[in-house]
Amino acid sequence: MKPKYPLEQLILIKQRRLEEAERILKEKKEALEKEKEKQKLLEEARDQTLRHKEDKMEQLRETLDAGTTSDKIEVMRSYIKVVEEELKQKQKKVQVQMEKVKEAEEAVEAARQEMLKKQQDVEKLKMHRKEWDKEMKAFETYQEGIETDDIGTAMHTSKKYKR
């Protein structure tokens, strides 16, 4: 009868922890992708506002070149200030989102390191299991050799007495 591997339960526990770490890593990667997508959308909105501001600046230049009333120019300038304020707010949102993306990247890296650590634990136990199996096989062979010697000695002794 072959003895049961004493660390079998530990292998199962470590394997479950590895699977959990892999699941967490997958979740962190998905969260990172969502944050990157959100950043992309915010950057597009900011760029659109920037283009709008540039268009209004060009329109103001053309109006100044054409010569118009100062009231109209003031209205345009105040509108450009509103657009600049909106642009600043959108840029701030982009900066905040970039921080969130950075945090998500760090979380992914931490989860990846944790998963690698758990993977190493499982690999170490598998190596230990192989060594243990080798030792058990060698011990079994040794035991069989002793039994064979005992049987041989008993048969020899039995034949010796029969003579």
Q: What pTM was computed for the model?
A: 0.72
CATH of domain 9-162: 1.10.287.1700
Output the CA–CA distances (angstroms, integers) from residue 136 to 5, 9, 11, 126, 142, in the order listed.
Answer: 10, 18, 18, 15, 10
Residues 82-97: pLDDT tens digits? 999 999 999 999 999 9
Assess contact for 77 and 64: CB atoms under 8 A.
no
Residue of 33 and 59 predicted with greater confidence: 33
Average pLDDT over residues 109-137: 95
Average pLDDT over residues 138-149: 87
Average pLDDT over residues 13-30: 96
Q: How far apart are CA 163 and CA 160, in angstroms?
A: 6
What's the DSSP call for residue 151?
H
Calculated CA dihedral for residues 101, 107, 109, 110, nearest 10 degrees = 160
Q: Domain segments of the chain: what residues?
A: 9-162
What's the DSSP call for residue 69?
-
Assess contact for 2 and 75: CB atoms under 8 A.
no
